[in-house]
Chains A and B, each alone.
Chain A
Amino acid sequence: NAGVTQTPKFQVLKTGQSMTLQCAQDMNHNSMYWYRQDPGMGLRLIYYSASEGTTDKGEVPNGYNVSRLNKREFSLRLESAAPSQTSVYFCASKGTGVTYEQYFGPGTRLTVT
């Protein structure tokens, strides 16, 4: 039981390049989330998927797209990377029922030059 996994762990992009961050969970959770973490700012929600087949914008969605490929996988795409997107990206998942507890992956450290 690996929990939430993310790939890659590190990535360096040039301005304008595109890439997809991958996330998968093996806990049979319905809801999945993408956050970015910048120094001193805590976690900010980019997009979330309440259940398979649905996605919704969070606090900072501009410049990103997401795909909920199936119940296990939720990917985040940067179509044209900008230096302002340099950050650490975390994926999380949440189970069903009366719980709001989110479980996090190890993060992807992205630098855009």
Chain B
Amino acid sequence: GQQLNQNPQSMFIQEGEDVSMNCTSSSIFNTWLWYKQDPGEGPVLLIALYKAGELTSNGRLTAQFGITRKDSFLNISASIPSDVGIYFCAGQKADSNYQLIWGAGTKLIIKP
């Protein structure tokens, strides 16, 4: 079963707000990846993190590889309507070269 806890499960935001989500695990990971999935599409890679403590940005998105190597965080600044979708974290454990462990996703919804 899944070994990554992704929070929150969903969040309602106002346009312009900042957004934070995270993934945690009891296991140590070597790599953290953040993906976004739009309705009816496959997941698209947003940010890849390879070193503990690493902070990487992609436009308004910033992700961090936690110092303990057991967690990762994604922040979106000044959200816009096209940020709506499901965000997934995925991690690669030290003992697995080919498989990723996936979070259940955070669904972002814009308040009308």
Chain A residues packing against B (C-beta within 8 Å): 4, 31, 40-45, 48, 50, 56, 58-59, 90, 92, 94, 98-107
The answer for the CA separation of A106 and B33 in the assembled complex, in Å, is: 19
B66 in contact (CB, < 8 A): no
* 7 residue pairs, one from A and one from B, having the closest CB atoms: A104-B42, A42-B104, A100-B92, A42-B102, A43-B102, A100-B31, A104-B43
Does B33 lie within 8 Å of A42, measured CB to CB?
A: no
Q: Closest chain B residue to A91 by CB distance?
A: B42
Measured between beta carbons, the chain A residues less than 8 angstroms from B6 are 42
Chain B residues packing against A (C-beta within 8 Å): 1-2, 6, 9, 30-31, 33, 40-45, 48, 50, 88, 90, 92, 97-100, 102-105
Measured between beta carbons, the chain B residues less than 8 angstroms from A103 are 45
Measured between beta carbons, the chain B residues less than 8 angstroms from A48 are 98-99
Main secondary structure of the interface of B (DSSP, over half): loop
Measured between beta carbons, the chain B residues less than 8 angstroms from A101 are 33, 45, 48
Does B42 lie within 8 Å of A90, measured CB to CB?
A: yes
How many whole Å from B92's CB to the nearest CB in chain A?
4
Q: Closest chain A residue to B97 by CB distance?
A: A50
Does A50 lie within 8 Å of B102, measured CB to CB?
A: no
Does B41 lie within 8 Å of A107, measured CB to CB?
A: yes
The answer for the CA separation of A90 and B98 in the assembled complex, in Å, is: 16
How many whole Å from B98's CB to the nearest CB in chain A?
5
Which residue of A40, A94, A107 is within 8 Å of B98 (Cβ)?
A: A94
